[in-house]
Structure 1
Amino acid sequence: MNDRQKDILRILLTEQQPHVLTKQLAERVNCSEKTVRNDLKVIDQYLKEHTNARLVKKPNVGIFLEIDVEEKSKLFKQLLAADNPIDLNDEERLLEIAYRLLMETKHVTLKSLAEQFYIPKNVVKKDLRKIEGWLKKYHLTFISKRKIGLVVKGTEQNKRLALANLHQLIHPQFFNRRFIKSQFPPHEVDIVEKELKQIENFYDFTFTDDSFESVLIHTLIAIKRMKMNQSVSAVANSSQVMKTKEYAWTKRFLKKLEPYFSVHFSEQEILYLTIHILGAKINDPTAAKLTLDTQTQPLVDSFVHEIIQRMSRLTNVEFHKDQELQRGLSVHLLTTFQRLAHDLPISNPMLDDIKKMYPYMFDSIITVIAELKEKIPYVIPEEETAYLTLHFQASYERLKKVSAEDQRVLIVCHMGIGMSQLIQTKLERYFRDLHIVGCVGKAKLDDYLSKYPIDLVIATMPLSLKQVPSITVSPLLPESDIRKVEQMIQHRNGHPVAIEGKSELLKFIREENDVGKSTILYKLK
């Protein structure tokens, strides 16, 4: 649309009278009535291609828009963006295009995308090829029709999964849902966040930070798609899902949201979100058996027993003596098997790093899983194998650690039980002067600090703390971060810190293979 046509559309959007005459529009935009009538054809075409609004023309009465509140807000946003074009970088533009295509229910033309983002069509085509390749991961495809445009083809469930994981289109190694979260009004995000936290408090458990964000985003997407009349289809194993505790309180959670958003969650929508909550990670191992699922729990128990026994024999490490490993695996695999049962993707942003740092442990688990493939009904992906590697590596660290009692340290980790345990046991093994008092998510940090004396906070994400010194480390705690922690403790103590196991012999050993079968780089005599 040209500037005059945009002005006409603004008038129709803001007009207080029920109808506007063509003559009135001509006077307000300073042109002829014939020009206005031609402009209205362009506006009508634009609305058909980009919105669910309708331009209605009644002879001898006038012109008006049939449009709901959400669509009106969307149109205002588009007009504002057209008047104030934002210079997006390539990654931001890619996300914006993918988001629009996934949200649209109508065909989108290359021309409209080129005009929206002020880029040539060949750049749009390049972006579309990248988006199309990524969509295949979610069993989605582009359907293109000549002179009409293209549309994303696939199930509503898969479209929502892609939307919730849109950040991985540009940064597959990060958990960062900032873009998709920004597509919702802040007050809507606050409402869902508040009700989700009340569910955590009522049932006395907490999601990991990433799982909390994931459930939050899936809920917001569900609300928005329902308002667009895009509902999920039948959910597999629905009768089994309905027997779980999570189904009961998911229903309670969603019913509390209905009056805020003027929506009604159908049975299928409740089941759909329950599945995502069943597949979410929790922080507290003692809250492992949240679900009443009578099929998954026995399968988890059997698998945990088998993998621990086989790993003990394969590596000559007494994993079977570590009760914490058994509890941690039970918590983790219960949600993993729920995800696999309902074909939900498993993401691990640190897959390559874990394979590099712990190759022997990773390969050992691959071997054991291959032996057990006939005993479980799922294919375990590499991403999940990497998570299991963290649990076993943490156990290995525990079995050989030296305990410490002096400085009280709190770990703040957003990645779940396996990662928290690995950080904790690594730190306690390396440093005599540390006493790890707990591992919490960022949401519980302030509450913990108000109740317990803490000397140092070690976090996997940047924190702004005034009352307690803090240091940020990588979740895998490489050698460089060990040195950072060493310097921090040294500074606080005022004297050098003893680091366990740092003998001359270790100069000849690759630390990333440290699992009892290290690789000797030089022949020692």
Structure 2
Amino acid sequence: MPNFKICCIIKVVGGMVIKDIEYKILNYMIHIDDFLTIKNIAEQLDISERMVRYALDNIEYILKKNNMPELRRKYGLGIKICLTREQLDLIARRESIYKNYLGFSNKNRLILYLLKSHYSRTLLELSDFTGVSKATVSKYLCEVEEYLLEKDIKLVKKRNKGVYLIGKEVAKRRLIYSIVLESYDYSKMQGLLMPKNMDDLMIKNYFYGIDIKYIWEILRKSLLQRKITFSDVAFYNMIINTCIMLKRIQQRFLVDIELEKINYLSETFEYEEAKKYCKDISEKYSVVIPKTEIVWITMHFLGANPVKLLEEDIFSSVSQRTKLMNCTAAMVDAFENEMHIKFNNSDEIVRGLFVHLIPAINRMKYNIFIKNNLKEDIKN
């Protein structure tokens, strides 16, 4: 069976919509400056030739209605289209509430839609949004209810009122992070700067209006100026969480953090770095980034993996620092004994492991999740 999502995404004209698979076909074709057979397209996208034919019928209609270049057909050669990236993006965004949800499964699309809502949504509204029946929406809601509880978010369903989500903003942002990066490979994160596949497009479209390349550059510049180094995973994590923060502020949702935690974190070195970073973002997007949001970014700075040890770190007392250093040294000793080896540079290894454990402790302390595609490879 072909593996793809048959979901209505983008309302373009009248009752016509462009589906994920049709967008995927167009996106593939605009990168090929040559004629393609239906068989070529089917094999490349791992779908049936019959499905390609059906998709092309709808594509032709949509292109014509939007005054876009039409498909060119040549007997014996196949099909070609002279469509630019800008024209394809225009099709994907015209007159549509679905424009930010291209490629997501209907269940995830439903969750993201509820997350951006300030009030309850009726089954009819959710049905219109997802393009499925109210019965199917009810089924989806039942299926995601337990998943949401695992994320510390409660799905509330009230007769004659509608459906809405209850939970802390921090938990909601973690959920968005999980959904957005559900199937994304961090090793290909450069694709966000110049989307090449559906996963790239999903993230780019969800954060529509947010210049990921700009955030990428100011974060890189900030780290270079302050001689701080993040691992690739931590860097990408920071990019995505910055985008989530901006999107939530634009949707008028602010993070809620305990006063005690705010007071503690605002005294850290990382808070000052986060404040400068947020200032650049605030000026670029003309938004006010309150202190709680700066603290939220601080938590992610603390959860990053610095390669060099900063003079100030998470420890509020010398005894805490000493305790972790002793624990780290004991781990290295235990490894040497188990493997019957002796490191020549054990002190250097202890210091390096100590630095690596600091952000790990912070991630546990502030419940920060970083997706790492290498985790399973390391386990195996």
Q: TM-score range by the shorter chain?
A: 0.5 to 0.7
| 2:242 counterpart residue number | 219
Instruction: Tell me the distance in 1 between the aligned counterparts of 2:135 and 2:94.
Output: 23
Q: Indicate the SS of the match to 1:204.
A: coil
The amino acid of 2:248's aligned partner reads R
Instruction: Tell me the distance in 1 between the aligned counterparts of 2:345 and 2:224.
Output: 34
- Calculate the TM-score normalised by the size of structure 1: 0.46
The amino acid of 1:239's aligned partner reads N
The farther-off stretch of 324-333 and 258-267 is 324-333
For the pair 1:338 / 2:358, whether they are aligned, the reply is no
Instruction: Tell me the distance in 2 between the aligned counterparts of 1:302 and 1:132.
Output: 44
For the pair 1:253 / 2:246, whether they are aligned, the reply is no
Instruction: Tell me the distance in 2 between the aligned counterparts of 1:220 and 1:269.
Output: 12
Report deviation, 1:200. 1.2
| 2:107 counterpart residue number | 94
1:118-152 Cα offsets, whole Å, 9 max, x none, are 22334323433443333233211101111222111
**For the Cα contact (< 8 Å) 1:311–1:319, is it kept in 2?**
no
For the pair 1:207 / 2:230, whether they are aligned, the reply is yes
- Calculate the TM-score normalised by the size of structure 2: 0.62
| 2:378 counterpart residue number | 354
The amino acid of 2:216's aligned partner reads E
Instruction: Tell me the distance in 1 between the aligned counterparts of 2:111 and 2:242.
Output: 20
For the pair 1:289 / 2:313, whether they are aligned, the reply is no
Distance 1:172 1:153, change over 3 A: farther
Map 1:51-450 to 2 at 5 A.
79-80=95-96, 92-167=105-180, 170-171=182-183, 178=200, 179-185=202-208, 188-235=211-258, 236-282=260-306, 285=307, 287-289=308-310, 291-295=312-316, 297-318=321-342, 322-323=346-347, 325-345=349-369, 347-355=371-379, 357=380
The amino acid of 1:343's aligned partner reads N
Q: Indicate the SS of the match to 1:163.
A: helix
Q: Indicate the SS of the match to 1:143.
A: strand
1:278-337 Cα offsets, whole Å, 9 max, x none, are 10124xx3x133643333644432321122223333443446854553243222211011
Q: Indicate the SS of the match to 1:151.
A: strand
- Could you list the runs of 5+ residues in structure 1 that have no partner in the other structure? 1-5, 8-75, 358-525
**For the Cα contact (< 8 Å) 1:243–1:293, is it kept in 2?**
no
Report deviation, 1:81. 5.6
Distance 1:258 1:335, change over 3 A: same
1:5-57 Cα offsets, whole Å, 9 max, x none, are x99xxxxxxxxxxxxxxxxxxxxxxxxxxxxxxxxxxxxxxxxxxxxxxxxxx
Report deviation, 1:112. 1.9
Instruction: Tell me the distance in 2 between the aligned counterparts of 1:152 and 1:319.
Output: 53
Higher relative contact order (CA 8 A, sep 6+): 2
Give the percent of matched residue pairs that are identical in Structure 1 and Structure 2: 22
- Could you list the runs of 5+ residues in structure 2 that have no partner in the other structure? 1-12, 15-91, 190-198
The amino acid of 1:294's aligned partner reads F
Distance 1:327 1:243, change over 3 A: same
CA RMSD of aligned residues (A): 3.3
**For the Cα contact (< 8 Å) 2:255–2:296, is it kept in 1?**
yes
Distance 1:112 1:350, change over 3 A: same
